[in-house]
């Protein structure tokens, strides 16, 4: 008899686990209450990157004179932009649904809650309920934008990130609350569309926890664009004033803008699952603690994606889903590689782009570890000059004794793509000489990788 594998949540973790398990012979049922493909993924991540790409095209159009062309004035077509976002979301969601259905995955629309550690009850849109029994279960219910108790978004002028794709009225001015990854991406997005942007920065640099040198490059670009940075301030209230909003900070400063956007993290979707009925432990923040196989305290119940409390990245969620499917089907007894979250590559889609992987320079210094740091600016790379965009650099961190690549950071055009080379080197324990001795394309931005590895 096939393993009855239940998956709650159809985001990157859930649909990847479903696909892999189905191919391995499991009897897979997936419960999804919103959109197959994942709400955080298709209602937040993909739309934001789509708008950022459009904003980037507008920004590039303002630099055409550097390419030997006359400048072009671009104007946002809100209807066309909305249609573009929706078409991409629909395409990705439909593709995922069709793939799973072709593999025999049963997709149940509704909300699940545990009845016991081997059964859930699904409340469906038509008001009916359905009991589903399982041998193994994956909880991959994702997360949603965090909304503090001092503000109430109205979907009009006081917005969460999911209200912005695009907003009902394009901002003339906007105050972004939160200077992490999402916050700085939204600064870039709205400034590219011509809005006057103010960023509330609770600490003394944007992107707290990232390489200070990387953050400094981004701050310089923000200031060049006319972005106002309110450092050392925390928002404490947001109120409507007609067609404007007023953001009040704890240090007495105020910001008046046409819109305010909350970008202050996320909270896990775990409170409605009745996890106690299955005996699953939930921490104080609502996350499900897991081991290296993504197993919770109940041996046949797993957690993956944002709800697991690990890195909130779609790539990490997908890999967790794959590892869970392999574990459910017994493949963990063979030779395999455990997930190493410290080696996950990440990117920030600003202009210039930022990407990093592995050991950070500041982290190494804080721990007293000896490292070799090499850095090459893109201004030394012919392709960057050809592209009329020489901003940024490549930094590679390696072990001075062995030459093994430990990590790296990239700031500049296509950083999200280029970091893959360093990510592969970190994961496979390659040495800097492996990069140096690779015959790369010329002219290409990747030449900076080889130069930084020398």
* 66 pLDDT tier (thresholds 50, 70, 90): confident
Q: What is the pLDDT averaged over residues 313-331?
A: 96
Distance, in Å, from the CA atom of 338 to the CA atom of 427, rounded to the nearest integer, reads 11
pLDDT(274) > 80: yes
Higher-pLDDT residue of 336 and 116 is: 116
pLDDT tens digits, one per residue of 119-155: 999 999 999 999 999 999 999 999 999 999 999 999 9
Distance, in Å, from the CA atom of 176 to the CA atom of 256, rounded to the nearest integer, reads 12
- The answer to whether domain 4-145+268-333 and domain 158-264 are alike in fold is yes
Q: Are 345 and 399 in contact (CB under 8 A)?
A: no
pLDDT(400) > 90: yes
pLDDT tens digits, one per residue of 345-391: 999 999 999 999 999 998 898 889 999 999 999 999 999 999 999 99
The closest alpha carbon to 355, from 414, 313, 416, 406, belongs to 416
Query: Alpha helix locations (H) across 270-335?
Result: 314-328
Q: Which residues pair with 177 in a beta bridge?
A: 200, 262
pLDDT tens digits, one per residue of 225-236: 999 999 999 999
Higher-pLDDT residue of 286 and 336 is: 286
CATH 2.40.170.20 corresponds to the domain 352-453: no
Locate 244 and state its tokens: 């404007």
- Homologous superfamily of 158-264: FAD/NAD(P)-binding domain (3.50.50.60)
Neighbours of 103 (CB within 10 A): 14
Give CB contacts under 8 A, 24+ apart, made by 216-221: 217/352, 217/354, 217/391, 217/392, 217/393, 217/411, 218/184, 218/348, 218/350, 218/352, 218/354, 218/411, 221/350, 221/351, 221/352, 221/391
pLDDT(338) > 90: no
Every domain of the chain and the residues it spans: 4-145+268-333, 158-264, 352-453
Neighbours of 248 (CB within 10 A): 16
pLDDT at 62: 82
Class of domain 4-145+268-333: alpha beta
* 21 pLDDT tier (thresholds 50, 70, 90): very high
pLDDT at 1: 72
Q: What is the mean pLDDT of the chain?
A: 95
pTM of the shown model = 0.94
Q: Which residues of 428-447 are buried (b: 16+ CB within 10 A; e: fewer)?
A: eebbbebbeeeeeeeebbbb
27-32 and 158-160: which strand pairing? unpaired
Locate 268 and state its tokens: 């896990």
């Amino acid at each position: 008899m096939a393993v009855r594998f239940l998956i709650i949540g159809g985001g990157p973790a859930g649909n990847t686990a479903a696909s892999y398990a189905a191919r391995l012979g499991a009897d897979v049922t997936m419960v999804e209450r919103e959109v197959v493909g994942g709400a955080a993924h298709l209602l937040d991540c993909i739309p934001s990157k789509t708008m950022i790409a459009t904003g980037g095209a507008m920004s590039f159009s303002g630099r055409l004179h550097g390419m030997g062309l006359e400048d072009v004035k671009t104007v946002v077509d809100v209807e066309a932009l909305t249609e573009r976002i929706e078409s991409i979301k629909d395409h990705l969601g439909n593709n995922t649904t069709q793939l799973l259905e072709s593999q025999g995955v049963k997709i149940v629309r509704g909300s699940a809650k545990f009845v016991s550690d081997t059964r859930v009850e699904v409340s469906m849109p038509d008001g009916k309920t359905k009991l589903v029994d399982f041998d193994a279960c994956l909880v991959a219910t994702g997360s949603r934008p965090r909304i503090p108790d001092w503000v109430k978004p109205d979907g009009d002028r006081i917005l969460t990130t999911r209200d912005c794709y695009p907003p009902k009225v394009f901002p003339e001015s906007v105050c972004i609350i939160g200077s992490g990854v999402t916050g700085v991406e939204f600064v870039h997005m709205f400034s590219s569309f011509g809005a006057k942007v103010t960023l509330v920065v609770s600490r003394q640099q944007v992107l707290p926890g990232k390489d200070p040198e990387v953050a400094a490059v981004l701050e310089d670009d923000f200031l060049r664009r006319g972005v106002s940075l309110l450092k050392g301030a925390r928002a404490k209230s947001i109120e409507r004033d007609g067609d404007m909003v007023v953001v009040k900070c704890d240090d007495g400063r105020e910001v008046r803008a046409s819109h305010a956007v909350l970008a202050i993290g996320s909270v896990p979707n775990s409170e409605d699952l009745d996890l106690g009925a299955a005996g699953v432990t939930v921490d104080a923040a609502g996350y499900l603690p897991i081991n290296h196989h993504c197993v919770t305290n109940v041996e046949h119940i797993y957690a993956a994606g944002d709800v697991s409390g690990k890195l909130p990245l779609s790539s990490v969620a997908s890999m967790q889903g794959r590892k869970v499917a392999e574990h459910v089907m017994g493949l963990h007894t063979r030779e395999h590689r455990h997930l190493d979250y410290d080696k996950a590559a990440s990117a920030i889609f600003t202009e210039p782009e930022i990407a990093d992987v592995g050991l950070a320079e500041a982290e190494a210094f804080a721990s007293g570890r000896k490292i070799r740091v090499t850095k090459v600016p893109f201004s030394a790379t012919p392709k960057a000059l050809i592209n009329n965009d020489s901003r940024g650099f490549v930094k590679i961190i390696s072990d001075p004794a062995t030459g093994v690549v430990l990590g790296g950071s990239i700031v500049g055009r296509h950083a999200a793509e280029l970091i893959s080379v360093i990510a592969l080197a970190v994961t496979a324990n390659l040495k800097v000489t492996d990069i140096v001795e690779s015959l790369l394309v010329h002219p290409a931005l990747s030449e900076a990788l080889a130069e930084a590895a020398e």
